[in-house]
Structure 1
Amino acid sequence: MVALSTRKPDPVPAFIPPCLATLADAPPRGDDWVHEIKFDGYRLQAHIADGSVKLLTRTGIDWTARFPSLAKALKSLKVKSAIIDGEAVVEDERGLTSFVKLVEALETGQWSEMIFIGFDLLYLDGVNITSGPLIERKDLLKAVLTRSRSKHLRYSEHMASEGATVLKEACSFGLEGIISKRTDRPYRSGRNSEWLKSKCLQTDEFVIGGYLVSSVEDKAIGALALGTFEQGKLVYVGRVGTGFTHDTARALWKKMQPLKGAASPFSAPLTAVQRRGVVWVEPKLVAQIAYSTRTGDLLLRHAAFKGLREDKPASDVHRPKTRKTKS
């Protein structure tokens, strides 16, 4: 266990850039890994100090005002100071986290439905504990969160079973996937191979480069043209034409109007079919998309819109590289 009482107080960091998981082709094997559910929400870093709470996005933007119920619940924790890495989520009728439901809750102010799931502890009562091993940080976090009776707070349990078995079970329940983490490693900001994500469903962020007007409704979008940045150039990956409600189709159309442009933002010319009917926009908005797979030329198949991501700039959206897991 991390010896907090013997440490001199550490300055409270204003923000700790988050540890990011690398996409893997399969979960890692071995006793030095644990596996957690991959949640479908907004990554938040909770800062608790001097009786106040701040909730920061993964880029350090203050979103406390957007999650008042979570801030209130975190403020009630029996700690002097803490920094907790976690995720803001809303569950659907099956009890699964849903980004679509979270976006709806944020838009309509349904604060009572929101939950903060904590999965790592970075600072506690005057001590920066990022240098300690993950399993010890998690033990401390569990002790902190399980003392709370708030319905808005939850601890992310982990499983030490074989990763492939955990992923199979996760997929059978309709979950997005799992995150595998090395138990003995410190917290390291940035993307690394000590946190690995294995997916059941393909979900990624894509940049919106254009839209098609709805054929059945005025001032609403019918589809989006998507891309990712590769070496500073926007590369076309296909269209998404499902997953929109009437409200989101109209809201997206409204957001697109100030961004309309005369020319395609994509680096390579599109085919006549790909560009037909597309209204070009500046590539500034990021959409979260679920899809089944990619074609040989990397276009999305069976894509569905899940919501806009406001916590990530478009310039940071790149095609993820997959790490090969040793057998």
Structure 2
Amino acid sequence: MHLENRVLVTGGAGFLGSHLCERLLDAGANVICVDNFFSGTRSNIEHLIGHKRFELIRHDVTMPLFVEVDEIYNLACPASPVHYQRDPVQTTKTSVLGAINMLGLAKRVGAKILQASTSEIYGDPQVHPQPESYWGHVNPIGLRACYDEGKRCAETLFFDYKRQHNLRIKLARIFNTYGPRMHPNDGRVVSNFVVQALLGRDITIYGEGTQTRSFCYVDDLVDGLMRFMAAGDGVFGPINLGNPEEFTIRQLAEQVIALTGSRSRIVHRPIPQDDPHQRRPDISCAHDVLEWAPRTRLSEGLKRTIGYFDALLADRTMHGRLTTAVA
């Protein structure tokens, strides 16, 4: 990365975006963080405010943005079911109009642009593990479709802009990522289990807990994104980024209980509509092309994540919010 690089991160105050902004600053970039704070929070990037190479803009990517930048990481979109189903129409707009506006910006200023796509584009997969060549198995009218199909449409737009305008694109399909700064009430399995365990509440599993997921620690994921952006223009993806180690949801719950020393019991609830049964990335492409693979084991990443939520619970105000949320 050139030291004078001007980098735009949309969704920069979110869980993943805030870690990316931090790492880009460490690498010497000038960072413009854009967020409308629908699911991102100011507290995630508060420690960066005042940094001479960091700028925060409150803006919704469904509206055009006019800035001069060299690189764009388009991360803007609520990524947890609780958040993206709260306003499904806005979720689709964020994915589709946000992609159009950021691609238009990249075209105007000649910037390289990376799209944060998702493993959700594979839906409830019938191929396991999921390679980039798999087209997916998605319900286009289900409760998750606002996110799944919004991201699929964004992928289409990125490749059409590449073919039609010779735009320099990067398309990353991100699998389950966890770590500090996850939103405590976002309904994602890691944050749910950790908060419930720390409060001594029942840990809620949907179905029998035999569904599998692969959990990538946030530092590893950010490393993958930055390696991808730094790769030559001939490397544009799509590329899966995630941890290929696979765990059942019940195994995750048991590990969280053990690491927290909690007395929480595991209880079962009906499985949500279109919940994928299996999810595991084939990262052969990332390994071969980017020389990337995650290094953080689940037990180590969970310890750091538990430490973060433990500190949140020490805050009386946050403790009240979390207690209400998991009651």
TM-score interval (norm. to shorter): under 0.3
Higher relative contact order (CA 8 A, sep 6+): 1
Q: Point out the structure with the larger helix share.
A: 2
Q: Point out the structure with the larger strand share.
A: 1
Larger Rg: 1
TM-score between both structures, scaled by the size of structure 1: 0.27
TM-score between both structures, scaled by the size of structure 2: 0.27
